[in-house]
Structure 1
Amino acid sequence: MAHPYAHLFEPIKIGPKLAKNRIWMTAHSTQLVKDHNFTDRHVEYYAERAKGGVGVITMEAMATHPTTQPYAGKIHAFDPAVIPNYKKLSAAVHEHGALLLAQPWHRGRETNGVVNRLPVWAPSAIPDTVYREMPHAMDQENINEILEGYTLAARYAAEGGLDGVEVHGLAHGYLLGQFLSPATNHRTDQYGGSDENRLRIVLDIIERTRREVGPDLIVGVRINGDDGEVEDGLRTEHWAKIARAIADTGMIDYISVSQGTYQNRMLIYPTTPREQGYQIEATRQIKQMVPELPVVVAGRMTSPEKAEFAIASGAGDMVGMARTLIADPEWPNKAREQRETDIRPCVGANHCMASIVSAPLACIHNPAVGREAELGTDTLQITDRPKSVAVVGGGPGGMRAALTLAQRGHEVTLFEKGSELGGQVNWIARSEAYSEWGSIAGWLISQLGGTNVKIELGVEATVESLQAGGYDSVVVATGSTPLRTGWSVNHPVRWANPDGVPGVDQFNVVTAQEALLNHSELGPNVMVFDDIGGRQAVVVAEHLQANRHQVELVTTLSSVAPELSATRDVGWVHKRLRTAGVVFTTNREVAAIDEDRVSLRDVHTDEIEEREPVDSVVLVTGSKAEDALYYGLKQAGVEVRAVGDCVSPRRVFNAIWEAELAAREI
């Protein structure tokens, strides 16, 4: 029988080089940087993906000039200090048969000068919608510096033994895209006005890049297939013409296509519920314009079936992936071996994006990301002292601990007092918009099926039953339960009162979990009160509104779900909720609930306003750690470890991370 992904695993010529398959890891930030240079963790990170079977890797975007420095963790591609580390990286990646490319780039106006204390440079003095810092309109001297930066970046990539250079800055609204777009280029000199003038700097950079690397290395470009809904921005038909003009130079070997600008960031790295392969049709139009060149198609390529379709249908010649390969670096090998159910899915949570705001790259349910030497493929050591281990709690943390313990050779029993595994992920996944999150639990459940873990559902483990079981060690992952007091963090002294806000004991006051599990029991008019600022409140609000409740989302904060700024989808979520009819009320807390009336207090002025009728109130005010079993076992002298929310209610990532570490310690 023919391989179901025959196109995906066919070799392809890219200019002077041969890629072993059609899977391309596209560039993404790692924040593993030190002193503007690569580190050993970079070597481990990229080598892990090469070992996992990817054909081509484009490394993270690298600065071509000091003015493109949004945070300290950026490689300076214009500094010859990168050359020795390029050599380390290329040796590690080439060992596994993958090609490795540099990606020089400049952000233009899509940054600020906080880190580098330099002015932002752009073609015209127009602030970006995210950073909103007024740029310096570049003069010819500035443009010459940018040209020189790209030139040096290409030179050092060649000297470092890389396979080529991907010129970036055209896509995602970065500097070269700003020159190309009439929306952001208002110049009247040789770099503005006509299509030819706006393209001038791009063609100059491509010519310099080719001259530096010569004919034996790859030169490619990353462009957009669509800027999104930007007034006078570049749409697919414009980018197709740009692609044709670039191809006509005869100096490039491929085109990689993406979408979006910082005004439409959910086109760049969208969260769920954006569908797989959403960029396919726009990329197909680019491919039709440049049939002679390999074209990389991207856009939430999470399944082998979708990747194969993209190539087989002619939308592109290679499939670009970033978050998919962050979640599972072995995706290519597993797809080639037709082990689809073993692929750890990217669920579109964008924890990877949130992590790089203040720390190195991480994945919501792959604890090895950025820690490949310690936790990556083939690092798990089989124990020479098998133990009988009980894991209590069937959420993501408990399942991760049980899986790793079993893989190490321990005899594991997993206790879950409920009727199913999955924990809090299950109730989040009840919302249609977040149904993909269920795959976090689903993948762990499927992997447990391939082990000898004994699963006990509907059984509540106790100190006495665990002692009677004679287990050598216990991992407690009992999670947390939602708080029902309604107190805001603005009044810490009131948290000593367990009775809570007056009226919270009414039958029509529920937690987010209860609302998601039993929304039909709620009345038509629902108030969701949020004191956290994360995703929980918007999940329940969107779910209830979609199920024909009228929802008012009230928060003590100055905006709804500000934590979603880190995952980059705060604007998209706001748009979805407000378009659906959810009403936002900020800077208010619940003062009292009296039957179907809620009194709200202004957090700044203490003014009271009434809402009536409110048939149901949903509280999102934090959770309480379920730690009694842990402390009971500890007091009884049992070897015990606690992971996840039973230590402190936090995130799925923390539960899985701590579970993995605990399981490796036993």
Structure 2
Amino acid sequence: MSDYPNLFSPMRIGPKTAKNRVWMTAHSTQLVKDHNFSDAHVHYYAERARGGVGVITMEAMAVHPTTQPYKGKIFAFDRAVVDNYRKLAAAVHEHGCLLLAQPWHRGRETSGTVNRLPVWAPSSVPCTIYREMPHVLTQAEVDELVNGYVLAARYAAEGGLDGVEVHGLAHGYLLGQFLSPATNHRDDQYGGNFENRLRLILDIIRKTRDEVGPDRIVGVRINGTDGDVPGGLTNADWTEIAKAITDTGLVDYVSVTAGTYVERMNIYGATPQPAGFQLEDTARIKAALPDIPVVAVGRINTPELAEALLERGDADMVGMTRTLIADPEWPNKAMRNAATSIRPCVGSNWCLASIVNSPLACIHNPAVARESELGVGTLKQAQESKRVAVVGGGPGGLRAALTAAQRGHSVTLFEQNSELGGQVALMARSETYAEWQGITDWLISQIGETQVEVKLSHRAEADDLAGFDEVVVATGSTPLKHGWSSLRPSSWGDGTIVPGADQWNVYSINEVMAGKAELGPTVFVFDDTGARQAVVVAEHLADLRHKVTIVTRLPQVAPDLEASRDLQATYRRIRNKGVKFITDHELVSVNEDAVTLADVWTNESTVHEDVDAVVLSTGNKAEDALFHALQGVVPVRAIGDSVSPRRVFNAIWEGELAGREI
């Protein structure tokens, strides 16, 4: 018997029955080819269906050419999708999973850069992110929009899908822009009172139902709240909207999410957003809709949380995305009471950052979007068992050791420190990012189920490794402390340092996070990377009651967080903790407790007195000496930061490949 009886009970959704209450909600994959699905999509969704998911809503699909934030958008209004729908349906239905389409339009929350078309919106109010002034929809264009939803529904039915989830109401997208008085300033039949603002939505739902008929599901995705948006829709407003929609008798379920692009962490909260952060709003909507299934989302990442919300009656189905990206076998593992083996979603939002320039990825599941090559069941036993040494117990070394051991090799893992985890373990010492410890904790727990021999506090030298058949060097990297910004490339190679960078009160981030720094009340963090590390250490020090200033030669602090969508939330959090920003400035010198900075554009210098300590975040140096020492001694390969200091994702990716190639 499962420990989660509600989670694994069937659920009637209109004319169909879901085998359990786990619902994979829609998300971008960037696996799209020529505005259509690809074979990689088939493998991706089939992997989650095989893993036990009850219902899958596929990624949002454009109902009109004007909704293309990037090239990788499926055209749901083009009949070319039908054949691929059939492939997807066959692959997913094989595992007893329902499959839905999600037609949508972004409205003002996009730009015309890709499609070279004007941005459509009910009124000319620009998006806070894209900032492009929209074109006000005419009646003829509204009719085009409706026709796009009609075609999307028609082709979903022809393609053998189980139904359609009408999207565009939630997250501040186009239909939500019609609903909200904050973004709908029209004075025609679509503006003004509640009935007029709802008119377009009801028309689309009615015509969608006409297209798919009574034998397929029609659902709708709404917000539980818009969040802190002046004039935006509240939970009470969305409850009224949900009741008006469901009173038509045309929809079979309501999926409740939250947020708009004014604050995107309300949509897909990264750590430290708590698990279940959207549930209170969803529960109130569910209370108003007792007779129709309601889907809840919002970092529902453990079977215990899922079971509890179902038992309370807060919702009828449990929606999740990033959790199932991290571990597609989440449902099956939970059903067989093996929840401790679930690879956790740690809320890093690498899945969001990855789709900016490439297909979907997960920070610590290498198989994502590569299921046919690296997915469940693809790991083959080695033809010959070898003695393998892995040097370095960070995320890359852990992944390499685990994969090699799972293939039947005899693996010894050397770690020079007294604990495993590498720089991830240091980062996780910040209360805000403690959840990231799940990356290495999971790998360590999995290694504990193998025969890997782990040698802690053992710095492996070339002589220690000569008797092994293969060696994987995962020795990581160490922080640079010369203090130069990358605007001074010649200084990086001449052996010089920024004057005072070698003072007793100048530290690396690693030294601070390891508790090896003696810090006074006031700390300057100088960052040249634009990555997350500087804000991690700044917030950690602010939590310890230090007065912290981040200095960067960039025009913005930590711009890399734009890709993971948590820049706004991080700024709000750390600024409210007192962290100050100085942008467009280089470090010139440190002289005891005085720090001199220079404006990168004017070269004007400013001296800041009474600075007790300086923390440098200027990049890392690859620790590759062991790799070079082993050349010609034993077959050796390097991975992760020991090749080039990069990201957690790269270390784990290369560790997986190394473990498979030996």
Q: With the length of structure 2 as denominator, give the TM-score of the two structures.
A: 0.99
Give the superposed CA RMSD.
Answer: 0.7
Counterpart residue identity of residue 129, structure 2: V
How is 1:117-516 mapped onto 2 (pairs within 5 angstroms)?
Answer: 117-467=116-466, 470-516=467-513
* 2:221 and 2:255 in contact (8 A); partners too: yes
Match of residue 646 from structure 2 = 650
Match of residue 637 from structure 2 = 641
Match of residue 605 from structure 1 = 602
Counterpart residue identity of residue 396, structure 2: G
Query: What whole-Å deviation, never above 9, does each CA across 1:252-299 have from its counterpart, x for those lacking one?
Result: 000000000000100101110000001111001110111110000000
Distance between the aligned counterparts of 1:258 and 1:598, measured in 2? 47
What secondary structure does 1:521 align onto? coil
* 1:84 and 1:160 in contact (8 A); partners too: yes
* 2:388 and 2:412 in contact (8 A); partners too: yes
How much has 1:497 moved relative to structure 2? 2.9
* 1:178 and 1:185 in contact (8 A); partners too: yes
Counterpart residue identity of residue 622, structure 1: G
What secondary structure does 2:12 align onto? strand
Distance between the aligned counterparts of 2:7 and 2:195, measured in 1? 37
How much has 1:338 moved relative to structure 2? 1.1
* 1:101 and 1:162 in contact (8 A); partners too: yes
How much has 1:591 moved relative to structure 2? 0.2
Question: Is the counterpart of residue 536 in structure 1 residue 533 in structure 2?
Answer: yes
* 2:389 and 2:413 in contact (8 A); partners too: yes
How much has 1:309 moved relative to structure 2? 1.1
Query: What whole-Å deviation, never above 9, does each CA across 1:202-231 have from its counterpart, x for those lacking one?
Result: 000000000000000000000000000111
What secondary structure does 1:220 align onto? strand
Q: Taking structure 1 as reference, are residues 538 and 379 closer, same or farther at Cα in structure 2, changes over 3 Å only?
A: same
* 2:550 and 2:579 in contact (8 A); partners too: yes
Correspondence for 2:659 among 645, 660, 663: 663
What secondary structure does 1:406 align onto? helix
What secondary structure does 2:101 align onto? strand
Match of residue 580 from structure 1 = 577
Distance between the aligned counterparts of 2:512 and 2:403, measured in 1? 33
Query: What whole-Å deviation, never above 9, does each CA across 1:556-583 have from its counterpart, x for those lacking one?
Result: 1001101100001111111111111011
Counterpart residue identity of residue 489, structure 1: S
Distance between the aligned counterparts of 1:662 and 1:520, measured in 2? 36
Distance between the aligned counterparts of 2:299 and 2:471, measured in 1? 39
Distance between the aligned counterparts of 2:503 and 2:108, measured in 1? 52
Query: What whole-Å deviation, never above 9, does each CA across 1:527-556 have from its counterpart, x for those lacking one?
Result: 000000010000000000110110011001
Question: Is the counterpart of residue 624 in structure 1 residue 621 in structure 2?
Answer: yes
What secondary structure does 2:88 align onto? helix
How much has 1:503 moved relative to structure 2? 0.4
Mind listing any 5+ residue stretches in structure 2 that lack a counterpart? none
Query: What whole-Å deviation, never above 9, does each CA across 1:402-457 have from its counterpart, x for those lacking one?
Result: 00000000000000010000000011000101000011010000000000000000
Distance between the aligned counterparts of 1:208 and 1:545, measured in 2? 54
* 1:364 and 1:652 in contact (8 A); partners too: yes
How much has 1:519 moved relative to structure 2? 6.9
Query: What whole-Å deviation, never above 9, does each CA across 1:136-193 have from its counterpart, x for those lacking one?
Result: 0001000000000000000000000000000000000000000000000000000000
Question: Is the counterpart of residue 99 in structure 1 residue 98 in structure 2?
Answer: yes
Distance between the aligned counterparts of 2:89 and 2:617, measured in 1? 49
Mind listing any 5+ residue stretches in structure 1 that lack a counterpart? none
Distance between the aligned counterparts of 1:38 and 1:176, measured in 2? 25
Distance between the aligned counterparts of 2:458 and 2:234, measured in 1? 57
Question: Is the counterpart of residue 69 in structure 1 residue 65 in structure 2?
Answer: no
* 1:519 and 1:544 in contact (8 A); partners too: no
Match of residue 587 from structure 2 = 590
Distance between the aligned counterparts of 1:520 and 1:649, measured in 2? 23
Match of residue 557 from structure 2 = 560
Counterpart residue identity of residue 154, structure 1: A
Distance between the aligned counterparts of 2:617 and 2:398, measured in 1? 26
Distance between the aligned counterparts of 2:436 and 2:361, measured in 1? 16
How much has 1:340 moved relative to structure 2? 1.3
Counterpart residue identity of residue 230, structure 1: V
Correspondence for 1:615 among 612, 617, 625: 612
* 1:480 and 1:646 in contact (8 A); partners too: yes
Counterpart residue identity of residue 422, structure 2: G
Distance between the aligned counterparts of 2:18 and 2:524, measured in 1? 55
* 1:600 and 1:608 in contact (8 A); partners too: yes
Query: What whole-Å deviation, never above 9, does each CA across 1:453-503 have from its counterpart, x for those lacking one?
Result: 000001111111111xx1100000000000010010001011113331000
Q: List structure 1 segments (4+ residues) > 6 angstroms apart after TM superposition.
A: none
* 2:123 and 2:136 in contact (8 A); partners too: yes
What secondary structure does 1:226 align onto? coil
Distance between the aligned counterparts of 1:166 and 1:421, measured in 2? 45
How much has 1:520 moved relative to structure 2? 6.7
How much has 1:637 moved relative to structure 2? 3.5
Correspondence for 2:514 among 514, 517, 535: 517
How is 1:20-59 mapped onto 2 (pairs within 5 angstroms)?
Answer: 20-59=19-58
Query: What whole-Å deviation, never above 9, does each CA across 1:322-379 have from its counterpart, x for those lacking one?
Result: 0000000000001111111110000000000000001000000000000000000000
What secondary structure does 2:654 align onto? helix
What secondary structure does 2:208 align onto? helix
- Percent identity between matched residues is 65
* 2:263 and 2:568 in contact (8 A); partners too: no
What secondary structure does 2:630 align onto? helix
Distance between the aligned counterparts of 1:228 and 1:394, measured in 2? 42
What secondary structure does 2:351 align onto? helix
What secondary structure does 2:412 align onto? strand
Q: Taking structure 1 as reference, are residues 239 and 520 closer, same or farther at Cα in structure 2, changes over 3 Å only?
A: same
Distance between the aligned counterparts of 2:518 and 2:290, measured in 1? 57
Counterpart residue identity of residue 39, structure 1: S
Counterpart residue identity of residue 163, structure 1: D
